[in-house]
Amino acid sequence: MGVFDIYLLETLINGVLLGGVLALLSLGLNLVFGVIDVVWICYAELIMLGMYAMYFLASVYRVPLPVAVPACIAAVAVLGLLLHVVVIAPLLGAAPINQLLATGGVLFFLQSAATIMFGIEFKNLGLRLPVLKAAGMFISYSRLLAFAAALVGMIAVYLFLNRTYTGTAIRAIAQDRQMMTLMGVDSRRIYVITSALGGGLAGLASCLLVLQYDVHPFVGLSFGPITFLICVLGGLGNFGGGFVAAFVFAEIISLGGLYLDLEWGYVFAFAFFIAMMFVRPQGLLARRS
Amino acid sequence: MLELTAVRAGYGTFQALFDVSLDVRAGEAVGVIGPNGAGKTTLMRVISGLIRPTAGALTMEGVDLLATPPHRIVELGIAHVPESRRLFPRMTVEDNLRMGGFMLAARPKFRQRLDVVYELFPRLRERRRQLAGSMSGGEQQMCAIGRALMSEPKLLLLDEPSAGLAPIVVDQLFELLRRIRAGGVTVLIVEQNVQQVLRVVERAYVLKAGSIRAAGSAAELSDSATIREAYLGV
């Protein structure tokens, strides 16, 4: 390898693999914000519940993975739908701060409910996927699998948004809310579909994360803030920006972890975020307005 | 076809329309003229369901518009080209047209309607993959009208289509309106460009400060002193 440091390459590849999962995480949150103009503060807690669903289905009830994964995605999609119908829809006309507080309340509600129901011990699937050795590098299969599945999920969403009437309406509503009525679109229906889609993405994310991480009632804290920061860095509601920002963040975390400790990777990532907020407060791929 | 009886409407405590009554018969082109702030845009928004009136009655071919959910009014055959076009700027021309044909009844006819619109506006065919917001004002106006025609409307509502366009583009626009009318579409048009619009419509209403001050054939209004007074706002 000579000049090219093998550890650096391994780190860069791991950064890309992490970036794919972070991009998937941020897409769900971004989609909901872009369309409904509401930030789901409790988004990562939906993922936490999805991880528990996977744990119970796969580890406790021994449901085969090809059944457990779609069931988990569907279950979290229903949660997203319920979150919209029960909490968000009645507050749509209210001040944005009320919506933030309400979804923030749901965050604590879900954390506490999970603590009561599932206890605080860490749980995992007990799966040990092999590690791939190639050209002197070690890449774990679970990361490769998570990256591939995240990519497939994002491509599916892209095709849905670009090839169907409902998907076109979802993109359009983010650009001009009022005109939807004139197009014959029932905005309330689009909101419900988008919420289910956002929940479904959280469900897919939880299936991928449970391969790599233990689940416990506060696991959302590990993904929630970073997902939110990625969305802000990319420009809230800007899907392309969120995608790019996810990979930028992932590489910073990965490289910081290579040269110092993993925790330093996060320190650099958040420092970078704060610096960028001064330089480009509208986000990386901000549109001129 | 369209009938408004004693319609009142406004925003909050501000009342913009006072007992407006008007009718549009099938096949006609009718104009609403008047100075800025007369309530012309409010009138259009009330018809297409963007604003609900506080009093009065509206029917389209006998169907009560107030009993129809706003997003289903387009299914009755009313398509609204709003003031300042309101395209989806970061979507392609063709995606904008697709949104115009969103309602279930229009979807099987998408290709067919697309051909009708592209024949009327060949420029849109050339630019179908371009982002709508990147086009010139005239092209955007064509796209906005094309979007409305995608639903195969019986009645086309046009709100200030000539606003912000160069004079030569305005001439082209009014020529195109004649062709759209020849295709059997009924038109209700709101304009400040009085002389131009009176050459396209058969009848017109003069709206001032939220109420109808005069009505008559285009020829009558062209010669009338009332309309000059209303239009110049003295």
Q: Do A169 and B99 touch (CB under 8 A)?
A: yes
What confidence score (pLDDT) does residue A127 get? 77
What confidence score (pLDDT) does residue A2 get? 52
CA distance B47 to B58: 7
What confidence score (pLDDT) does residue A180 get? 94
- Residue A182 contacts B, CB cutoff 8 Å: yes
Touching A: B residues 89-108, CB under 8 Å: 89-91, 95, 98-100, 102-103, 107
- Mean pLDDT on B73-91: 95
For all residues of chain B together, what is the average pLDDT?
A: 92
pLDDT in tens, A12-35: 998 999 999 999 999 999 999 999
Q: Give the total residue count for chain B.
A: 234
The edge-to-edge listing of strands for the beta sheet with B29-33 is B78-81, B155-159, B186-191, B29-33, B203-208, B211-217
What confidence score (pLDDT) does residue A261 get? 74
pLDDT at A129 over 90: no
What confidence score (pLDDT) does residue A260 get? 76
Q: Which residue on chain B is closest to A164 by alpha carbon?
A: B98
What confidence score (pLDDT) does residue A3 get? 46
pTM of the shown model: 0.90
Instruction: Sketch the domain layout of chain A as residue ranges.
Output: 6-279
What confidence score (pLDDT) does residue A124 get? 86
Asked if A31 and A194 touch (Cβ cutoff 8 Å), the reply is yes
Higher pLDDT, residue B225 or A225: A225
What confidence score (pLDDT) does residue A10 get? 87
Binned at pLDDT 50, 70 and 90, residue A139 comes out as confident
Spell out the residues 6+ positions from residue A64 whose beta carbon is closer than 8 angstroms to its own. Answer: none
Which amino acid, B18? F
Higher pLDDT, residue B176 or A263: B176
CA dihedral B181, B184, B189, B195 (to 10 degrees): 30
Nearest by CB to residue B89, choosing from A175, A184, A187, is A175
- Mean pLDDT on B42-59: 95
- Mean pLDDT on B63-79: 96
Q: Do B70 and A183 touch (CB under 8 A)?
A: no
Instruction: Return the CATH architecture of domain A6-279.
Output: Orthogonal Bundle (1.10)
pLDDT in tens, A80-116: 999 999 999 999 888 889 988 999 999 999 999 999 9
What confidence score (pLDDT) does residue A288 get? 45
Binned at pLDDT 50, 70 and 90, residue A125 comes out as confident
pLDDT at B2 over 90: yes
What confidence score (pLDDT) does residue A130 get? 79
What confidence score (pLDDT) does residue A289 get? 41
Q: Do A186 and B71 touch (CB under 8 A)?
A: yes
Q: Which domains does chain B have, with CATH numbers?
A: 2-232 (3.40.50.300)
pLDDT in tens, A43-65: 999 999 999 999 999 999 999 99
Higher pLDDT, residue A127 or A45: A45
pLDDT in tens, A220-264: 998 899 999 999 999 888 888 999 999 999 999 888 887 777 778
A124, with CB counted inside 10 A (0-12, 13-18, 19+), is: middle
Chain B residues within 8 A of A178 when measuring between CB atoms:
50, 86
pLDDT at A283 over 80: no
pLDDT at B234 over 60: no
Per-residue 3-state assignment (H helix, E strand, C coil) for A204-260: HHHHHHHHHCCECCCCHHHHHHHHHHHHHHHCCCCHHHHHHHHHHHHHHHHHHHHHC
Spell out the residues 6+ positions from residue A263 whose beta carbon is closer than 8 angstroms to its own. Answer: none
pLDDT in tens, A172-200: 998 998 899 999 999 999 999 999 999 99
What confidence score (pLDDT) does residue A132 get? 79
Report the relative pairing of strands B211-217 and B203-208 from DSSP bridges.
antiparallel
Chain B residues within 8 A of A165 when measuring between CB atoms:
98, 102, 107
What confidence score (pLDDT) does residue B230 get? 61
- Mean pLDDT on B182-194: 91
